Amino acid sequence: MILKKQLPIGISTFNEIINNDFLYIDKTELIHRLITTNRRCFLSRPRRFGKSLLVSTMYEIFTGNKELFKNLWLGNHSKDAPWTQRPVIYIDFSKLNSESLETLKNDLNNTLDTIATKHGTDASHRPFPREKIAYITETVSTQAKVAILIDEYDAPLLKHIATPETATEIRDFLSGFYTTIKALDPYIYFTFFTGVTKFSKTSLFSGANNLDDISLSEEFATICGYTEEEVVTNFNDWIADCAKIKKSSPPEIINEMRTWYNGYQCQITLLIKYIILTRYFSI
């Protein structure tokens, strides 16, 4: 009897999912298309929607970890894949201490110093985050152009949604940091930002080299989350187990799932978030 794969509940690290043989819904064809047809992208999705797993998967592609993809679409199309091993600057802002502007600066500095060390350089002589990321990017790009992956870029702002003064300070700081990233474009191969919403005054969405917002793109609509077809195809054993427990049938379980999730619109969630944010401070 073939045992069904375990679900990676609470795990958003691609290599951990693959190495432990957890269930993974293969999104690598879409990821490949995104990487090979775009240079600067922004994707907005709600919390717990798979953004971090997506960024983690990109990280493994850019670091050339082919072995993880051997049983996936990308592994079966390796000759077309962007396997050039390149330096990656990967920052998850949801994991940084943003209790205040100072704690955010300190934690970001420490994160960048760790990234520099990982790439065989030292950025400790650069005191400010924007100086550090500029130094790291320019230095390591001599190996290959850099991939910059920023997950949950707006997490420090959303944390202070009810404290406008702190939020504004953090917004202005992040604006300077992100402006620096945009100025590093000649050294960058690919830039990808995720977040819950768009803050117009963070410099990301203005200027000549602004990010291409793919949040509402039909082409990449399913790059995060699951479609009904993916659920039925990949979770059929779990659906069958659920049906037995509830003394129901798989079609009835799927109909119940439709009641909960069908018609969900990411745009509505973003609109509500936008209304709340604009009430507290200018974005």
Looking at the domain assignment, is residue 271 inside a domain? no
Going 268 to 264 to 221 to 93, the CA torsion angle's sign is: positive
Predicted pLDDT of residue 203 = 67
Whether 219 has a pLDDT exceeding 60, the answer reads: yes
Distance CA 155, CA 13 (A): 19
What does the chain come to in residues?
283
Residue 65 banded pLDDT, cuts 50, 70, 90: very high
Looking at the domain assignment, is residue 250 inside a domain? no
Write out the residue range of the structural domain in which residue 150 sits: 14-224
* Region of poorest pLDDT, from 41-55, 70-84, 205-219: 205-219
What are the φ/ψ torsions at residue 147 (nearest 5 degrees)?
A: -100, 125
List, for residues 192-209, the tens digit of each pLDDT value.
999 988 776 666 776 556
List, for residues 96-153, the tens digit of each pLDDT value.
999 999 999 999 999 999 999 999 999 999 999 999 999 999 999 998 999 999 999 9
Looking at the domain assignment, is residue 283 inside a domain? no
Strands 188-195 and 146-151: parallel
Predicted pLDDT of residue 237 = 87
What are the φ/ψ torsions at residue 213 (nearest 5 degrees)?
A: -80, 110
Give the 3-state secondary structure of residue 91: strand
CATH number at residue 58: 3.40.50
Average pLDDT, the chain: 86
What are the φ/ψ torsions at residue 191 (nearest 5 degrees)?
A: -125, 130
Looking at the domain assignment, is residue 102 inside a domain? yes
Looking at the domain assignment, is residue 253 inside a domain? no
Number of domains in the chain: 1
Distance CA 90, CA 136 (A): 12
Stretch 37-57: mean pLDDT: 90
Alpha helices (runs of H) in the chain, residue ranges in sequence order: 14-19, 28-37, 51-62, 73-76, 101-118, 129-140, 155-159, 164-183, 228-234, 236-245, 250-261, 266-280
Predicted pLDDT of residue 235 = 86
Looking at the domain assignment, is residue 115 inside a domain? yes
Predicted pLDDT of residue 84 = 82
Looking at the domain assignment, is residue 23 inside a domain? yes
Looking at the domain assignment, is residue 248 inside a domain? no
Residue 272 banded pLDDT, cuts 50, 70, 90: very low
